[in-house]
Amino acid sequence: MELPYRYIDDISVADAAIEVNSDTLEGIFIDSGKALTNTMVDDLKSIRTDIEYSFKVESREIDLLLYEFLEKLVIEKDANQMLFSEFEVKINQTENNSIISVIAHGEHIDYNRHELCADVKAVTLHKFNLTKEKENWKAEMILDI
């Protein structure tokens, strides 16, 4: 199966650079969340979806909304040892604001079952980009690992 994201190897050795593509705005958020988690865990399917975590994030800029969404996932990993592999998202945009409502499905880290790859410490704003190209969305991000 071809993934809707790819890792870019020649950006930095202490970071992970990812490009995500989707045909919908909601899809870019979902696939970016999966790419973030897949940076930390080798097999997304190893993450059970027993726990639902609901949250909202708000921003004036749609690219910063994506950034805040991803940072929320990193915070949950650090604070509560949570990994998420499935996401339900609803995005409401107004002239002045964007709000994403998220239900993330996952579980607590199980060191016996999850093959951990890298510990993502943060999503950086360096080269962070979200653009719409024709009918497709593209996100580029660098994760501090």
Q: Is residue 96 part of a domain?
A: yes
Which two three-digit tokens encode residue 53? 């975590």
pLDDT in the model for residue 11 = 60
Domains identified in the chain, total number: 1
pLDDT in the model for residue 10 = 64
> Whole-angstrom Cα distance, residue 84 to residue 35?
11
Going by DSSP bridges, is the β-strand pair 136-144/51-59 parallel, antiparallel, or unpaired?
A: unpaired
Q: Is residue 4 part of a domain?
A: no
Q: Is residue 10 part of a domain?
A: no
Concatenated DSSP letters of the chain: ---SEEEETTS-SSEEEEEEEESSHHHHHHHHHHHHHHHHBS-GGGS---EEEEEEEEESSHHHHHHHHHHHHHHHHHHH-EEEEEEEEEEEE-SS-EEEEEEEEEEE--TTT--B-----EEEEEEEEEEEETTEEEEEEEEE-
Q: Is residue 76 part of a domain?
A: yes
Domain CATH number, residue 93: 3.55.10.10
CA nearest 65: which of 91, 39, 30?
Answer: 91
Q: Is residue 1 part of a domain?
A: no
> Whole-angstrom Cα distance, residue 86 to residue 121?
20
Q: Is residue 111 part of a domain?
A: yes
145 residues of the chain, pLDDT tens digit each: 677 877 766 665 668 899 999 999 999 999 999 999 999 999 999 999 999 999 999 999 999 999 999 999 999 999 999 999 999 999 999 999 999 999 999 999 999 999 999 999 999 999 999 999 898 999 999 999 8
- Domain containing 31: what range? 15-144
pLDDT in the model for residue 5 = 77
pLDDT in the model for residue 13 = 60
